[in-house]
Amino acid sequence: MQLLPMKELLLEAKANNSAVAAINVSNMETITGLLETAQKMESSIILQISPMQIQAQKITYAQIVEMIKLFGRDYDIKASIHVDHAVDVEDCYKAIDSGFTSVMYDGSMVDFDTNIENTLKVVNYAKGKNVTVEAELGKVGGAEASDSTEEGYMTDPGKVEIFVNRTGVDCLAVAIGNAHGQYKSKPKLDFNRLSAIYEKAGIPLVLHGGTGIPDVDIKKAISKGIRKVNIFTEVDRAFVKGFVDAYTGNKNIYMMHAQEQAREHMMREIEKKLRICKNVEEE
């Protein structure tokens, strides 16, 4: 595995008119499942983990990096390790010091000026360390809420150029009707807004909440400047369902076999997502 700053993967995707899938990993099975599928698909990949996952699993940023590097030795792919949705700049610093090649500071919960101030802190800390910095402008909420499509939560194209110029951020997560988690109804992405954002930004854009967005809409978003697509819930649910199905089918199954069935079920879902991001059709 060739570990690179995420920016390099996104610029390569731009040249190919594609995007890179960013998929959250939590344990050995999710790490190897993602690496194995990426190699099969000849795809670059972003392995990401959020502070929420770090806390839930009682591990450290350094430990997850070492796990990924250990298993990554067996794969010939380009990859980046990314911390997702760090709302505290200190989490970004910890991740950078632990060997992450990309971090996201999520300033969606603070005002515009504070978002700029904190993002700039992370950008300055990452300088000289060859680490990519992603920021968020607007607010990508949860799919269970209705705020993701409200004007006040959407990324304002009029603020994009100011934000990018003042922070020097490498890529920008946008709010265009997308949301985290499982959508209750079909999401409606504002592609006109996306085009206006891309025109002002001049840097790769990021689509969060990839779970549940129709394939055709993801491909359209890629054509309008999206270079990174975040996917967590769908892949996570595939693993859990695979494990539950394995146990339901055989109450005497050992954990190692149930986990492998879960991993294989998850890998089939990952392959679908990688195909969409690569802009290739199903075989």
What whole-number distance in Å separates Cα of residue 197 and Cα of residue 161? 9
**Which residue of the set 84, 91, 106, 190 is catalytic?**
84
Provide the pLDDT for residue 281: 56
Predicted confidence band of residue 280 (pLDDT cuts 50, 70, 90) = low
pLDDT at 241 over 90: yes
pTM of the model: 0.92
Provide the pLDDT for residue 211: 81
Predicted confidence band of residue 32 (pLDDT cuts 50, 70, 90) = very high
pLDDT at 283 over 50: no
Count helices and strands in the chain by DSSP H and E runs: 11, 9
Provide the pLDDT for residue 147: 46
- pLDDT tens-digit map of 159-211: 999 999 999 999 999 999 887 665 555 778 999 999 999 999 999 999 998 88
C-alpha distances in angstroms, 7 versus 21, 192, 275, 277, 280? 13, 25, 21, 16, 22
Q: What is the DSSP string of 238-275?
A: HHHHHHHHHHHH-TT--HHHHHHHHHHHHHHHHHHHHH
What whole-number distance in Å separates Cα of residue 231 and Cα of residue 234? 7
Provide the pLDDT for residue 178: 83
What mean pLDDT do residues 84-103 have? 97
pLDDT at 218 over 90: yes
- pLDDT tens-digit map of 33-55: 999 999 999 999 999 999 999 99
Q: Is the dihedral of CA 96, 98, 103, 104 positive or negative?
A: negative
Active-site residue flag, 76: no
Provide the pLDDT for residue 142: 55
Provide the pLDDT for residue 251: 97
What is the crossing angle of helices 255-278 and 215-223, to 10°? 50
Provide the pLDDT for residue 145: 41
The percentage of the chain sitting over the pLDDT mark of 90, rounded to a whole number, equals 85
Quote the mean pLDDT of the chain. 92
- pLDDT tens-digit map of 114-164: 999 999 999 999 999 999 999 999 988 654 344 444 655 899 999 999 999
Provide the pLDDT for residue 98: 98
Give the Cβ contact number of residue 74 at 10 Å: 11
Provide the pLDDT for residue 277: 96
